Amino acid sequence: MKIELTERQYRYLLDLVYIGNWVLNSTREDDRIKEYDQVESLIFSHCLRHGMGKLVELYQGELIPSRAFANGGIHEAIESYEDVVFYEILAEELALRDLDGEPLTRENYGALMERIDTYLDEFDEHGTEHISIDLDE
């Protein structure tokens, strides 16, 4: 297969590949999905031919994204995404808890969404400052 990209598109592709592999493999420790690592290595290997050698380094015989790449702002994008997802999941879980075990229905869907929005507004304003958990129960 042959894909033609501009240099700028290729640079964006590097970000996408890195983020995708990070999502799939960063929490897997020794159980990494090697096929994704191999695709990442293949995509990053083209850096050498396109004047982007600083974005790749050799590690245990494999070309991987360099520390310069990883420290260049990509993790800020990942962290921003993780923050949004964290608060959205937390708001949804708290709103569902507030239903007192009632199954989600068409009738209570509006109330659930309103409750989620209320939690999200709270998190936007105060983060997790007002959340407390009684660990003595």
Instruction: Report the SS3 class of residue 61.
Output: coil
Distance of CA 131 to the CA centre of its chain: 24
> Distances from the Cα of 46 to the Cαs of 33, 34, 40, 74, 119, in angstroms?
21, 19, 11, 19, 45
- Residues 17-68 pLDDT 10s: 999 999 999 999 999 999 999 999 999 999 999 999 999 999 988 899 999 9
pLDDT for 49: 93
Banded pLDDT at 75 (limits 50, 70, 90): very high
- Residues 78-135 pLDDT 10s: 999 999 999 999 999 999 999 887 888 999 999 999 999 999 999 999 999 999 988 9
- Helix axis angle, 75-98 relative to 7-25, nearest 10°? 50
Percent of the chain with pLDDT over 90: 89
